[in-house]
Amino acid sequence: MKYLLVFSFLLTLICNSGEHNHDHGHEHSHDHNHKKENSNKKSIKAHQHGVGILNIVKEDNILFFEFELPGYDVVGFEYKAKKKDDIKKVKQALNLLSDYKNMIEIDNSAECKKESSSSDLLSEGNHTEFRSSYKIFCTSIKKIDKIKIKYFENFRNSKKLNVKVISEKKAKSFELNSKNTFFSSRDYF
């Protein structure tokens, strides 16, 4: 349960350190005062198309991953899906995001197994955001040298991924892109 406290601390740092960026690479109206469609979910933060967020928290033998991805990066649009093809794209994306093995790859020698996972679509005004989270227990977590992030393989509109990692040993932020998809975990685990 300690990892939840660490994760909450990470989210507080992220929320307080980010700039409110409205540069989405194309024009559309911004009204962030709309009620969100799913009222039991967090509000959508400002985001930039092509830029996703990955938060990683490690405590003991548990890894927690949370992706926050602009709708445009995942399905190619941000409006609420109404057309049959758009609805199909959203369902496929949520299905893909629900399995952590589609998003991250961990060495089998670490003997990891999923404890829980979720994927959601949040909508506010003209914006959508996909979120997925995974709680993974690894029997031999110290055997993990690196983790492959498969985000760019699945979502071609993505340009970079801002990663924040917190463990008992270290906290750090860095950026991944389609040419650099590995996170070296040696100093963290």
Q: Evaluate whether 103 touches 7 at the Cβ level (below 8 Å).
A: no
What confidence score (pLDDT) does residue 47 get? 54
> Domain extents for the chain?
2-18+39-184
Tell me: the pLDDT tens digits for 84-142? 999 999 999 999 999 999 999 999 999 999 999 999 999 888 889 999 999 999 999 99
Q: What sign has the CA pseudo-torsion 42, 70, 155, 176?
A: negative
Cα Rg, the chain, nearest whole Å? 16
Q: Examine the pLDDT at 175 and tell me if it is beyond 90.
A: yes
pLDDT band at 189; cut points 50, 70, 90: confident
Q: Examine the pLDDT at 144 and tell me if it is beyond 70.
A: yes
- Burial code (b: 16+ CB inside 10 Å, e: under 16) for 115-137 equals eebebbbbbbbbbbbbbbbbbbe
Tokens found for residue 46: 């400002």
For every residue of 107-154, DSSP letters joined together read -GGG-EEEEEEEEEEEEETTEEEEEEEEEEEETTGGG--EEEE-HHHH
Q: How far apart are CA 59 and CA 137, in angstroms?
A: 10
Q: How far apart are CA 133 and CA 100, in angstroms?
A: 8
Tell me: the pLDDT tens digits for 32-69? 333 333 434 455 555 567 899 999 999 999 999 999 99
What confidence score (pLDDT) does residue 29 get? 33
What confidence score (pLDDT) does residue 45 get? 56
pLDDT band at 77; cut points 50, 70, 90: very high
Number of H helices, E strands in the chain: 4, 9
**Regarding predicted confidence, which is higher, 48 or 170?**
170
Q: Evaluate whether 121 touches 129 at the Cβ level (below 8 Å).
A: yes
Q: How far apart are CA 41 and CA 141, in angstroms?
A: 31
